[in-house]
Amino acid sequence: MKKLLQLTVALLATLNSFAQNVGTVSGVVLDEKSEILPFTNVLLLKAKDSTLAKAVTSDIDGKFLIENASFNNYLLKISMVGYGEILHPKVHFERRQSKL
């Protein structure tokens, strides 16, 4: 099985609005050769119990956007048929800043 996604997922965590308690995670999914991986599953899981918070699929250019994620601690799980899975354990949203 191919190595999955050298998470050069240029993960960018940004905040949509200070008035709302939500944020956005976006990125690009690449393999170990830095080639784009289109139509990859990207899951945002609650860190507390690994339940699904949001799910999207990357587009033909490997780009994904998860919007309206509540401020919380998350895991980011990325998977694709024929590849393994990547679990990024630290996605954290809070009111004034977001960190990965």
Query: Per the structure, how many domains does the chain have?
Result: 1
Residue 2 lies in a domain: no
Q: What is the pLDDT of residue 93?
A: 65
Q: What is the pLDDT of residue 39?
A: 95
pTM: predicted TM-score of the whole model, two decimal places: 0.75
Strand partners, 41: 57, 79
Cα distance between residue 95 and residue 12, in whole Å: 16
Q: Is it the case that residue 12 has pLDDT exceeding 60?
A: no
Residue 42 lies in a domain: yes
Residue 36 lies in a domain: yes
- Pairing relationship of beta strands 73-79 and 41-46 according to DSSP bridges: antiparallel
Model confidence at 1, pLDDT cuts 50, 70, 90, reads very low
Residue 21 lies in a domain: yes
**What residue has token string 């200070």?**
18
Host domain of residue 92: 12-99
What CATH number does the domain containing 43 carry? Answer: 2.60.40.10
In percent, the amount of the chain with pLDDT more than 90 equals 29
Q: What is the pLDDT of residue 3?
A: 53
Taking only the tens place, the pLDDT of each residue in 24-62 is: 888 888 888 888 999 999 999 999 999 999 999 999 999
- 3-state secondary structure string, the chain? CECCCCCCCCCEEEEEECCCCEEEEEEECECCCCCECCCCEEEEEECCCCCEEEEEECCCCCEEEEEEEECCEEEEEEECCCECEEEEEEEEECCCCEEC
Residue 54 lies in a domain: yes
